């Protein structure tokens, strides 16, 4: 007799790194899925030695690589290529990953497929295969970009894919609204979810200021998204050279050398590169404020985590940041341009004696307005879809 309690979920993730913050929501939700639920993870390439992947292996998650022999450079090129040509059932055999995914889910017939995207349409060609096969699917979008719109010949199948999803999850109202505007549709099947944070939501002591102020730019070293070049140009102005501040770039990414080269070219003596840090609370014991001049975002975890620990944040008006920040009250916000972001930095500097109090308000906002366990809420939504 067939076990009707056993449910199969397929999840395909489009994070090109071994692991990223965009993976935390679905990964932490796994233990809260219905008993008897099995999950198969599809990804272009899987680093089985990565600590987070090892955790999945220990949970008996099946791992399937869609393009195991493809180099990072070729993967990025193929990803771009997919976005500049219409991908339909009759045209996709030249895309090995997409063909393999279609073949896999056609044979396994999961009860639900989760499409875990980076931006708001980089996985829709895969979701479209679910639509064609009449397999229920949900879509997660971790980011939407104002200057990056779908290619004209992709619009029809992408619109159809979005409208027919069982659910479209977005990490901010901005991302949901921008997606609707980009496709000219209202997504009644959409929902805003939050990503889990690693901090305990407690104010940690404000560091001493006797040697100056230490600002942390906690972000992937990826200029087109995170805008580190904007910050470096501002720091090159005379008034910021004279102010007693140090900026630490905390993170890794393929633009690290480019950012280092620009800092060296500008001869910025109070800029340092710290590398990736996994211990967020220890990190913030040594810094007074977060600074993040992103050009595009979903809702940055580094901002939420800093606020949850009672730190002032100086961020750009990207993604859902303006949904969280009340300028001058629980943080500072400006557009991702040198002129406007510097204005936000100037305002923050003028109010620097109030940073501990602003940090307390930031902490209270996160405590009172963001769910304590978004992964369980996401799991409940998935379980409800499985039951339906």
Q: Mind listing the domains of the chain with CATH numbers?
A: 8-196+373-387 (3.40.50.2000), 213-369 (3.40.50.2000)
Q: What is the DSSP string of 16-60?
A: -SS--GGGHHHHHHGGGSPTTEEEEEEESS--TTSHHHHHHHHTT
Query: Would the pLDDT of 129 be above 80?
Result: yes
Query: Would the pLDDT of 1 be above 90?
Result: no
Long-range interactions of 46-50: CB distance < 8 A, separation 24+: 47/18, 47/19, 50/18, 50/19
Query: Would the pLDDT of 93 be above 90?
Result: no
Measured from the Cβ of residue 170, the count of other Cβ atoms closer than 10 Å reads 28
Query: Would the pLDDT of 48 be above 60?
Result: yes
* Neighbouring C-alpha atoms within 13 Å toward the C-beta of 142: 21
Do the beta carbons of residue 319 and residue 297 sit within 8 Å? yes
The band of 177, judged by pLDDT with boundaries at 50, 70 and 90, is very high
pTM over 0.85: yes
Do the beta carbons of residue 4 and residue 387 sit within 8 Å? no
Do the beta carbons of residue 113 and residue 133 sit within 8 Å? no
Query: Would the pLDDT of 259 be above 60?
Result: yes
Q: What is the pLDDT of residue 276?
A: 87
Query: Would the pLDDT of 73 be above 90?
Result: no
Q: What is the pLDDT of residue 76?
A: 55
Residue with the bigger pLDDT between 276 and 151: it is 151
pLDDT, the chain, mean: 92
Sheet holding 289-292, edge to edge: 271-273, 245-250, 213-218, 289-292, 312-316, 332-334
pLDDT digits (tens, 9 = 90+) for 199-208: 989 999 999 9
Distance set, CA 54 to CA 27, 61, 325 (Å)? 12, 10, 36
- Work out the angle at residue 14's Cα, subtended by the Cα atoms of residues 373 and 305, and round it to the nearest 5 degrees: 35
Query: Would the pLDDT of 2 be above 80?
Result: no
Burial of 90 by CB count in 10 Å (0-12 exposed, 13-18 middle, 19+ buried)? exposed
What is the distance between the alpha carbons of residues 34 and 6, in angstroms, rounded to a whole number?
9
Distance set, CA 102 to CA 121, 272, 277 (Å)? 18, 46, 37
Do the beta carbons of residue 214 and residue 246 sit within 8 Å? yes
Q: What is the pLDDT of residue 261?
A: 98
Tokens of 28: 């932490």
- Give me the mean pLDDT over the 367-373 stretch: 95
Query: Would the pLDDT of 172 be above 50?
Result: yes
* Neighbouring C-alpha atoms within 13 Å toward the C-beta of 282: 4
Burial of 270 by CB count in 10 Å (0-12 exposed, 13-18 middle, 19+ buried)? middle
The band of 85, judged by pLDDT with boundaries at 50, 70 and 90, is very low
The band of 133, judged by pLDDT with boundaries at 50, 70 and 90, is very high
Percent of the chain residues topping a pLDDT of 90: 87
Regarding beta strands 190-192 and 213-218, do their DSSP bridges make them parallel or antiparallel, or are they unpaired?
unpaired
The band of 92, judged by pLDDT with boundaries at 50, 70 and 90, is very low
Distance set, CA 67 to CA 72, 96, 124, 304, 364 (Å)? 10, 7, 18, 34, 45
Q: What is the pLDDT of residue 91?
A: 47
């Amino acid at each position: 007799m067939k076990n009707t309690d056993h449910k199969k979920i397929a999840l395909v993730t489009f994070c090109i790194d071994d692991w990223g913050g965009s993976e935390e929501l679905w990964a932490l939700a796994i233990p809260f899925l219905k008993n008897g639920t099995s999950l198969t993870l599809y990804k272009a390439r899987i680093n089985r030695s990565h600590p987070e992947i090892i955790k999945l292996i220990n949970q008996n998650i099946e791992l399937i690589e869609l393009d195991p022999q493809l180099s990072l450079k070729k993967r990025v090129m193929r990803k771009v290529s997919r976005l500049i040509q219409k991908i339909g059932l009759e045209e996709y055999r030249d895309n090995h990953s997409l063909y393999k995914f279609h073949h896999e889910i056609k044979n396994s017939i999961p009860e639900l497929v989760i499409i875990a995207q980076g931006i708001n349409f980089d996985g829709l060609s895969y979701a479209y295969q679910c639509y064609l096969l009449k397999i229920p699917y949900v879509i997660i979008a971790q980011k939407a970009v104002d200057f990056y719109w779908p290619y004209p010949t992709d619009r029809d199948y992408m619109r159809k894919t979005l409208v027919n999803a069982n659910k479209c999850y977005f990490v901010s109202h901005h991302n949901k609204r921008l997606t609707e505007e980009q496709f000219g549709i209202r997504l009644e099947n959409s929902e805003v979810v939050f990503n889990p944070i690693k901090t305990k939501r407690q104010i940690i002591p404000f560091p001493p200021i006797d040697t100056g102020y230490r600002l942390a730019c906690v972000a992937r070293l990826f200029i087109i998204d995170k805008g580190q070049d904007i910050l470096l140009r501002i720091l090159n102005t005379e008034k910021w050279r004279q102010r007693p501040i140090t900026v630490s770039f905390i993170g890794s990414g393929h633009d690290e050398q480019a950012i280092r080269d620009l800092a060296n070219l500008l001869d910025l003596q109070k800029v340092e590169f710290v590398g990736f840090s996994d211990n967020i609370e220890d990190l913030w014991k040594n810094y007074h404020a977060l600074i993040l001049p992103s050009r595009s975002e979903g809702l940055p975890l580094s901002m939420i985590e800093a606020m949850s620990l009672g730190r002032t944040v100086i961020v750009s008006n990207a993604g859902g940041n303006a949904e969280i920040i009340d300028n001058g009250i629980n943080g500072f916000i400006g557009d991702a341009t040198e002129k406007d972001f510097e204005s936000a930095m100037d305002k923050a500097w003028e109010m620097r004696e109030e940073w501990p109090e602003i940090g307390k308000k930031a902490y209270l906002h996160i405590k009172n307005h963001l769910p304590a366990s978004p992964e369980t809420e996401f799991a409940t939504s998935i379980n409800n879809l499985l039951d339906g």
